[in-house]
Amino acid sequence: MKLLLLSVVLFHSLLSFDYKLQPKKVGDITTHCFFGLPEVMDEHNNGNMSNSCFVTLGSSYLVCDSGPTYQYAAQAYKKMQSIKNLPVAYVIDTHVHDDHWLGNSYYVTLGAKIIGSKAFKELPVLDQTRMQRRISSEAYEKTTQIFPTIFVDKEKVLDINGKKVYIKSVNHKAHTNSDLYVYIPSEKIVFVGDLVFNQRLPSLRDGDINGWLEALEQIKKMNVTYIVGGHGTNIDKKAVDFTYNYLKTLRDEVKKRLDDGEDIGDVVNEVTMKKYKHIPFYDSIHRQNVETAYRMLEWESE
């Protein structure tokens, strides 16, 4: 019997992955974040490359972005229980990229309400998600595609134990075609998802460079102490600057050459932006960003 029990324990241990998550307190307020690695998702990090945050709002937690898998979310919640044993009232998915919301499949087992952008209404259930293709089956165990059931069109306001939570839609294409940010005035904090990257290059593949810069300009004006992005550990008021400066320089460099009549092949080769060469993802993303920006700006100029 002991041998059988040992075998069962060993079997289940082989079907799990320890994300080794450590919550980091955001300043002196009631927020903790699990910060992802500046890496591409693979079988070594098993999707631990985006940020997931918990805000203590009286008698419950609010979660901003649930993470890449069921197991990730379960392990994050267990860590938070050791800080304060509270239920999760709401989970807010800032956008449709799956490294930010596949953890929903765990939080629904706790009875949490899932809130997301209106783009989730059109999101199909896939035979295999991007995350599922790139990480181990052990880490992906129990993960299912659970979409939000509460949608934000322009703005939704939650009142949780007397604290207001403003969930706002950018309402134009920016990082994606439907980005949300979560503003909690009492905590002087805003969670902006992948509108803000730091410590790695952002990707334009699903976005619009002008719309993204417009959204960042609005965020820069907000009366907050903390700006928490979807990737990176910089969370002060200047956290927005890396993404903003990269995208603005990219737009200016591409537009100048486009106005001079240069073709796309030459522009992709010329706009190297050497300042960013040491930043993770430069080699895999920058040239693609240049090409994407060129096509967007070319279309807008016609």
User: What does the domain layout of the chain look like in residue ranges?
Assistant: 17-241
Q: What is the pLDDT of residues 185-224, one digit of tens each?
A: 999 999 999 999 999 999 999 999 999 999 999 999 999 9
Greater model confidence, 2 or 67: 67
What pTM was estimated for this model as a whole?
0.94
Residue 15's pLDDT is: 54
- Residue 143, Cβ density class (10 Å: 0-12 exposed, 13-18 middle, ≥19 buried): buried
Q: What is the pLDDT of residues 60-93, one digit of tens each?
A: 999 999 999 999 999 999 999 999 999 999 999 9
Q: 17-241 has which CATH code?
A: 3.60.15.10
Tokens, residue 125:
């259930």
The CA–CA distances, whole Å, from 211 to 191, 271, 282 equal 18, 21, 22
Residue 29's pLDDT is: 74
Q: What is the pLDDT of residues 235-289, one digit of tens each?
A: 999 999 999 999 999 999 999 999 999 999 999 999 999 999 999 999 999 999 9
d(CA 197, CA 280): 11
Q: What is the pLDDT of residues 8-30, one digit of tens each?
A: 333 344 458 999 999 999 987 79
d(CA 180, CA 215): 10
